[in-house]
Amino acid sequence: MKIEKRVFSGVQPTGNLHLGNYLGAIVNFVEMQKEAPCLFCVVDMHAITLWQDPDELRASTREVTAAFLAAGIDAKKHIIFNQSRVDGHAYLAWICNCVARVGWLNRMTQFKEKAGKDRENASLGLYAYPSLMAADVLLYRATHVPVGDDQKQHLELARDIAQKFNSDFDEFCERYGYPDGFFPLPEPMISGPATRIMSLRDGTRKMSKSEPSDMSRINLTDNADEIAKKLKKAKTDPEPLPSDVEGLKDRAEADNLVGIYAALAKTDKASVLGEFGGAQFSKFKPALVELAVEKLAPIAAEMKRISEDRAYIEEVLKDGGERANEIASKHLRVVKDIVGFLQS
């Protein structure tokens, strides 16, 4: 049976959306819209694996929705919704928990980073986070998942869960009409020159929402002056830019800024170095500022405009949630049959 192409991805509503989220994920969401039906999910259930202030969670959920819309996601043709609206995510996550092995979850590096030294005191939800993520994707039988590089391991786990489910229940998948297994193995799409944007203050650390210094990241809500200030202050080294990509090796900060330029200009690092190879940062940085402001400031302005229309945002999420639920509940009925749950 031919499986229809379907795209799913998620972003957590926790704090500041930044350039890493934009270039690593959201830009690719916008591109994928041309190729297949897409679901873009604000994953509020993932967010609460670390305690969130409920009012801030609501505000961040609206903000991520506004960012999706401002970046150019079409909420009519595709689906934007918040995860908690569709009960199937939690339901299927339970089944994924029963398929996934403890040994698989023990290998997850993000859990180790987030739980830190006091692992005994981390929430069970934080540990099971990748299983919920697998459920998100599998619930829609999604085939393609655009994400940044840091989510690669989680998607491999989602594939392992899908594969084990299909093989544990092969006879039953077949009985209910799916001889090749019910879940397609989701394909991670980690592409472009900016799959891992680094901090502007330290080229060895990922740009992140949780980094205390706001100078380390460009927030999607930053205005032109803030963008310019942060890029001008961004850490560099004393050498001029190299003329080929090889020359960026061991120059984390230079590599990062060239990658950001390439991603914003929708080109690759080699072409950027073709233009700027041999130039000092004093020449490259103003060009980067100009490009970043040109590309990002309109998104910030549009986010602000959309954020003021709370009724519109709520309508997008409600309508998206209803359409997502239609797909989810259809799939979940089959999954329940396959695992042997009685239903009328």
Q: Cβ 284 to ligand TRP, closest distance in Å?
A: 30
134 binds, among ligand AMP, ligand TRP, none (CB under 5 to 8 A by kind): none
Long-range contacts formed by 101-106: CB under 8 A, 24+ apart: 104/157, 104/160, 105/130, 105/131, 105/157
Among 61, 54, 55, which residue's Cα sits nearest to residue 85? 61
Active-site positions? Answer: 114, 206, 209
- Rounded distance between C-alpha atoms, residue 44 and residue 66, angstroms: 15
In sequence order, the β-bridge partners of residue 144 are 7, 187
71 touches ligand AMP (CB under 6 A): no
Instruction: State yes or no: residue 144 binds ligand AMP (CB under 6 A).
Output: no
Comparing CB distances to ligand AMP, the nearer of 195 and 219 is 195
Alpha-carbon separation of residue 63 from 210, 220, 223, 300 (angstroms) = 16, 10, 16, 11
Facing residues of 81 across strands? 41
The dihedrals phi and psi of 198, each to the nearest 5 degrees, come to -100, 165
CB 46 within 8 A of CB 69: no
Rounded Cα distance between 63 and 299, Å, is 12
Residue 196 interacts with ligand AMP (CB under 6 A): yes or no:
yes
What b/e readout covers 106-140, taking b as 16+ CB neighbours within 10 angstroms?
A: eebeebeebbeeeeeebeeebbbbbbbbbbbbbbb
Binding piece for ligand AMP, criterion CB under 6 A, among 33-41, 176-184, 203-211, 233-241: 203-211
Asked if 151 touches ligand AMP (CB under 6 A), the answer is yes
CA distance 202 to 236: 9
145 versus 241: smaller Cβ distance to ligand TRP: 145
Binding partner of residue 285 among ligand AMP, ligand TRP, none, CB under 5 to 8 Å per kind?
none
Q: Which two tokens stand for residue 67?
A: 């960012």
The answer to the question of residue 25 lying near ligand AMP (CB under 6 A) is yes
167-186 positions binding ligand AMP, by CB under 6 A? none
Alpha helix ranges (H) inside the chain = 19-21, 27-32, 44-47, 54-71, 88-99, 102-106, 109-115, 124-139, 152-168, 170-175, 224-233, 252-264, 269-276, 281-307, 310-339
Selected binder of ligand AMP within 7, 8, 16, 20 (CB under 6 A): 20
Q: Which is nearer to ligand TRP, 97 or 223 (CB)?
A: 97
Residues in touch with ligand TRP (CB under 6 A): 8-10, 12, 43, 46, 133, 136-137, 145, 147, 151, 154
Which residue, judged by CB position, is nearest to ligand AMP in the bound state? 24
- Name the nearest CA neighbour of 255 among 230, 232, 273: 273
Smallest distance, Å, CB 224 to ligand AMP? 22
- Answer yes or no whether residue 147 interacts with ligand AMP by CB under 6 A: yes
Minimum distance from residue 11 beta carbon to ligand AMP (Å): 4
Closer residue to ligand TRP, CB minimum distance, 69 or 142: 142
Shortest Å distance, C-beta 20 to ligand AMP: 3
How distant is the alpha carbon of residue 312 from its chain centre?
23
Binding of ligand AMP by 221 (CB under 6 A): no
Judged by beta carbon distances under 5 to 8 A according to partner kind, the member of ligand AMP, ligand TRP, none in contact with residue 145 is ligand TRP
In the complex with ligand TRP, the residue whose CB is nearer, 46 or 62, is 46
Size of the site for ligand AMP (CB under 6 A): 16
Residue 202, SS3 per DSSP? coil
Cβ distance to ligand TRP smaller for residue 147 or 264: 147
Binding footprint of ligand AMP on the chain (CB under 6 A) = 11-12, 20-21, 24-25, 147-148, 150-151, 195-197, 206-207, 209
